Chains A and B, each alone.
Chain A
Amino acid sequence: MERYYQPEIECASREQILAWQNERLVKQVQNVWDNVPYYRAKMEAKGLTPADIKGVEDLHKLPFVTKDDLREAYPYGLVARPLKDCVRIQSTSGTTGKRVVAFYTQHDIDLWEDCCARAIMAAGGTNEDVCQVSYGYGLFTGGPGLNGGSHKVGCLTIPTSSGNTERQIMFIRDLSATILCCTPSYAAYIGETMKEMGLTPDQIPLKAGIFGAEAWSEEMRQDIQNTLGIKAYDIYGLTELSGPGVSFECSEQTGMHINEDHFIAEIIDPDTGEVLPEGSQGELVFTSITKEAFPLLRYRTRDICVLSRKPCSCGRTHVKMCKPRGRSDDMLIIKGVNVFPSQIEAVLLEQGYAANYQIIVDRVNNTDTLEVQVEMTPEMFSDQLSAVADKEKQLVAALKAMLGIYAKVRLVAPKSIQRSEGKAVRVIDKRKI
């Protein structure tokens, strides 16, 4: 039996959804015009006033917002409410240049948690469930978002956060956790560890998993489902828009329903910015129409995607998006963590290495691996192996501190990293997703 958190919204008629979108978009445009000078200037540059936006059909007239805008407006430039009305920030990983800080009013957090609650109930969750949230807590949106959603559904929530796999498994077994929320690669790792412990799927109490924050394949879904004996559901989101729960999978597992009462989705040609007809592949663009503190109009996600309005057997009427098919910028998502090559470069230079490096990303046994190859320099070299190894360890620790994940360092001979003419090939992503 399909469960809904807010059936009157999730299964509303298309006319109703459009009516909400029209009304909320008009209000949101007026809101940013009145409260965010940055937006107002962008609209004025295009000769627009709020009167030009009468509904969703006028959305295409509005200028895009990009990561560059977020960078330029950092930290308060896009905030539409006085800070006294804001109660929290969440943030992506990143150096100052790349870091995104999103602001929330209590109302924003409420709506975000509603979205996560919808995802948990779509995965079969009820107040009888024990929901273990093994996403990281803190600035990362994964932990706080699913934690809030789990509360709203009324699940007994186990806030383990990420890491310490033995303890994760202990809680799953001792407290009979039925729902697991984490990145797919961590779910796969937990599954592998349980398998090594000799546990068969029928000995594992879990019945569903809600896995997101990184790209994963259907093959990986099958693997995880078989190892843990669960149904694995995808969830999508961006800190810029709120966090996880912008869209989520239902029992059909054929795409993620976008919460259209909060977000209007468009697919555009990433090169021309032109809106593409339904069913086309292109860059996913979102407008957040209910956000109070940090509204974004036509935010370019860089995710390449296809939308589908084919009726869904689950009864939900909101548009579905496919799993993102890659990103059009340089950000890597490794083990659910956003990693920019520029962050790695900054650490290398700070530690005295040359800026000649290469990042090798791979997926071994369903777990992402990150290797940084860096060329040896005369300054970093010593006739004593222990001195070289100590510096290498320092570098590993500095990378861990910057990125939040472990990166293997491989010291290579000078000039051994291939030079390219023009844009350097910094990243080799061997993952097949």
Chain B
Amino acid sequence: MTIQQISVFLENRAGQLAEITSVLAKNNIDLRAIHIAETTDYGVLRIIADRAQDAANVLLNNGFILSMTPVVAAAVPDRPGGLAQLLAVLAQADMDIEYMYSMFGRGDGLAYMVFRVKDAEQLEAILRSHGVNPAAGADLGLN
């Protein structure tokens, strides 16, 4: 099952990120993961929030430009080679990864990789066929 990532346009200027996090805080939204890709002039802030739709509405109401993207999270075995093993599975299946980043699970002590791919369902099927269960919202502390 996919989870919803929110991507926000970030102008490269002092205070932009503080503005976003503070409006989310005011609305009692918990950030579960955060990742930034940037050029010199602007960036894309990617967040996983506990209440994705609420977070998106709050940001839209505050004038931010954003998009919602389904992403897939998978637990990574916490040992040397854990990520390598997971990525080998994707490589074998010829699965292109647009980008990925890591996040913690909710109280289970596991690390997760979040994958953005063209076809999220296909990725889930591949993972399952190799005995890896895509993370559910609850695993990550999402409502």
Contact = CB atoms under 8 A, between A and B. Distances in A.
A410 B42 CA distance: 8
Nearest to B19: A413
Of listed B7, B10, B46, B116, residue having the most chain A CB within 10 A: B7
B42 A411 contact: yes
A337 to B, nearest CB: 24
A413 to B, nearest CB: 4
Contacts of B64: 413-414
A378 B63 CA distance: 11
A408 B67 CA distance: 26
B43 to A, nearest CB: 7
10 contacts: A378-B65, A381-B9, A381-B67, A382-B44, A383-B44, A384-B99, A384-B116, A385-B44, A411-B41, A414-B64
Contact of A385 (B5, B11, B43, B69): B43
Given A389-B39, A412-B11, A383 B5 contact: yes
Nearest to A412: B11
B88 interface: no
A412 B13 CA distance: 9
Contact of B9 (A376, A384, A389): A376
B63 A376 contact: no
Contact of B98 (A384, A410, A414): A384
Contacts of B14: none
Contacts of B138: none
A413 B9 contact: yes
B41 A385 contact: no
A416 B65 contact: no
Given A381-B67, A383-B46, 14 more contacts: A376-B9, A376-B42, A378-B67, A382-B44, A382-B67, A383-B44, A385-B37, A385-B39, A388-B9, A411-B41, A411-B42, A413-B13, A413-B64, A414-B9
A415 interface: yes
B43 A383 contact: no
A374 to B, nearest CB: 11
Interface string B20-35: 0000000000000000
Contact of B66 (A381, A412, A416): A381
A377 interface: yes
Contacts of A383: 5, 7, 44, 46, 67, 69, 116
B47 to A, nearest CB: 11
B65 A413 contact: yes
Contacts of A388: 9, 42, 44
B38 interface: yes
Contacts of B42: 376, 388, 411-412
Nearest to A409: B41
Interface residues of B, number: 24
B53 interface: no
Contact of B38 (A377, A378, A385, A415): A385
A interface, by DSSP: helix, strand, loop or mixed? Answer: loop
A382 B7 CA distance: 8
Contacts of A415: 63
A416 B65 CA distance: 12
Interface in A234-257: none
Nearest to A375: B65
B16 interface: yes
Given A376-B65, A378-B67, A413 B16 contact: yes
A384 B10 CA distance: 13
Interface string B64-88: 1111010000000000000000000
Nearest to A382: B67
Contacts of B16: 413
A413 B41 CA distance: 11
Contacts of B7: 381-383
A433 to B, nearest CB: 28
Contacts of A376: 9, 11, 42, 65
Given A385-B38, A416-B11, A377 B65 contact: yes
A410 B13 CA distance: 12
A377 B37 CA distance: 18
Contacts of B41: 410-411
Contacts of B13: 413
A218 B140 CA distance: 67
A389 B7 CA distance: 15
Contacts of B67: 378, 381-383
Contact of A414 (B5, B38, B44, B65): B65
